[in-house]
Structure 1
């Protein structure tokens, strides 16, 4: 179980490290946009959309990594005061009955839109923009899959905690 959980976690770890560099790319692109607009008087819609693509990719693909490093938002008024075993039980419940069903529903309802977008290779959001809206829409199922992968890894880790507590 430990090896499988580790392999699943590596997926989001690698993606998270790539996205750290993408954040730098987004920052540099925004700097170029500001420089071009306010120093040279040029504006390009495809560059502005580039920042949007970077931002959407970082946010959507980074959710699994955020879950991996336990940096997601958690309202833990009671949770923080519980022992590790009770926390594991709560997490198992959340993974099985909240996270997984919600992500499956999101994939189910977004898939026709994503599939349709790919079928026509849907173009730019704005005239003169990046002709790849289908890639943006593909971030939705990718987001779900990466969170499901991390949810499974966390589920396996929680099972290990409960096994260790019973031993």
Structure 2
């Protein structure tokens, strides 16, 4: 892994990314102001999560700006000088996002998000040159996707009382 020292132009661009994240956080916070704060099931209101996300984004944005202004992102790998992007990876990730959007009301949040995770992971691994199309790898990715999406679904539906599309009427799938 070859690391490079960022040029002044790269430092400016990195600073702009950090400022963009800060502005996104402030925009999310401005939107959270308009959400009612009346506590729901579990003692938190519907504006709780937007406030948590905006605070986390603000902290990340400030750290990105600080890192950029104190010398840039020093641990970046050297660019590959590829003439174009990795289009098969883009196709895998796009297929995952589109499948999620198309199937979320049909197969439910957990399985549509799992499918999105599996397909996006295939694309990202392929972009790194580490594509693994063996059935055991697909199964492992599927189980990890379920392990991530199921607690998110349950947190929203059971603890925050926010309805997400489910596969069954029980509220657990």
TM range (shorter): 0.3 to 0.5
Structure with the greater relative contact order (CA < 8 A, sep ≥ 6): 1 or 2?
Answer: 1
Higher helix share: 1
Scaled by the length of structure 2, the TM-score of the pair is 0.34
Compute the TM-score of the two structures, normalised by the length of structure 1.
0.34
